Amino acid sequence: MIAISNFIFVEHGYLNTLFGFLISTFSSKRRFKGISHYEKPGSDNHTAFPCPGELLVEEHHSNYGEPWAGGRDVFEFLAQAIQLRPESSVLEIGCGTLRVGLHFIRYLNPEHFHCLERDELSLMAAFRYELPAQGLLHKRPLIVKGEDMDFSKFGSDKIYDLIYASAVFLHMPDKLVWTGLERLVSKLKPYDGRIFVSHNIKFCSRLGGEECTKRLASLGLEYLGKHTHDSLLFNHYEIWFEFRRSKA
């Protein structure tokens, strides 16, 4: 007995009928491309969020060196590491097209996910496709276009439980990374809040271990260690480096 959707097929005759229906349906989709369009004057009024074709076919899902589905792995690792709660506040530095951010937005209370992103195409994909398609506009994430590690638009009194950067610091000059960390310290919850940085921390290691520790301490940060996170979906792992604010 084979169950398909809400129907149960027992006899071969029913299966033949089903397969005939599927073949007919797929043939129609090839002919009409599965989409009907309004063509009369004023037809553009039917679309609340005009969306470019390349977004509709999700080309932006291939803009990363890792499968899009891997965003769920990163979310689960970080959420478990800080014991994430719906009322937690999270800042992502460089959220791109929300490969990871979508999972945080879905879980967190409205307005509790913030992101700084510099790339306009990524922002367009996030706002005009991902958030509407995932039904997450009501979560009202604050996603700001900006660069040079300027977090002023998030408010001077905002405090985060988690700040993370996935493969972002790799592409920044060391000086800019340190500038960003200096600005972020006051926005991180003392002791319990965490900063996670993926892949490597060459901005720190290039100074040498002792000098790096001193510079972190001068900012009020403490390095807690390195984590290796295995993916559940494919043969892949990521390395994450953990920091906390060591002074109130």
Whether 131 and 227 map to the same domain: the answer is yes
Kind and range of the H or E run holding 68: none
**Residue 222 domain-assigned (yes or no):** yes
Number of separate domains in the chain: 2
Whether 127 and 17 map to the same domain: the answer is no
Rounded CA separation 58/72 (Å):
17
Whether 217 and 172 map to the same domain: the answer is yes
Strands (E) in 154-200, as ranges, are: 162-165, 194-198
Rounded CA separation 146/115 (Å):
10
Rounded CA separation 245/243 (Å):
7
C-alpha distances in Å from residue 246, one per residue of 39, 217, 224: 62, 8, 10
Rounded CA separation 248/240 (Å):
24
**Residue 196 domain-assigned (yes or no):** yes
Residue with tokens 């397969």: 19
**Residue 46 domain-assigned (yes or no):** no
What pTM, to 2 d.p., does this model score? 0.76
Whether 205 and 117 map to the same domain: the answer is yes
Whether 85 and 13 map to the same domain: the answer is no
Among 50, 151, 143, 49, smallest CA distance to 96 is for 143
Cβ–Cβ under 8 Å, residues 229 and 236: no
Cβ–Cβ under 8 Å, residues 244 and 222: yes
**Residue 202 domain-assigned (yes or no):** yes
Whether 175 and 237 map to the same domain: the answer is yes
Q: Give residue 53's pLDDT.
A: 64
Rounded CA separation 25/38 (Å):
21
Q: Give residue 30's pLDDT.
A: 46
Whether 20 and 72 map to the same domain: the answer is no
Rounded CA separation 201/172 (Å):
11
Q: Which residues of the chain have pLDDT under 50?
A: 1-12, 14-15, 17-19, 21-34
What does the DSSP 8-state code read for residue 208? Answer: -
Q: Give residue 5's pLDDT.
A: 40
Q: Which domain holds residue 126?
A: 67-245
Whether 20 and 99 map to the same domain: the answer is no
Whether 87 and 146 map to the same domain: the answer is yes
**Residue 167 domain-assigned (yes or no):** yes
Whether 20 and 75 map to the same domain: the answer is no
Whether 123 and 238 map to the same domain: the answer is yes
Q: Give residue 2's pLDDT.
A: 41
Q: Give residue 19's pLDDT.
A: 46
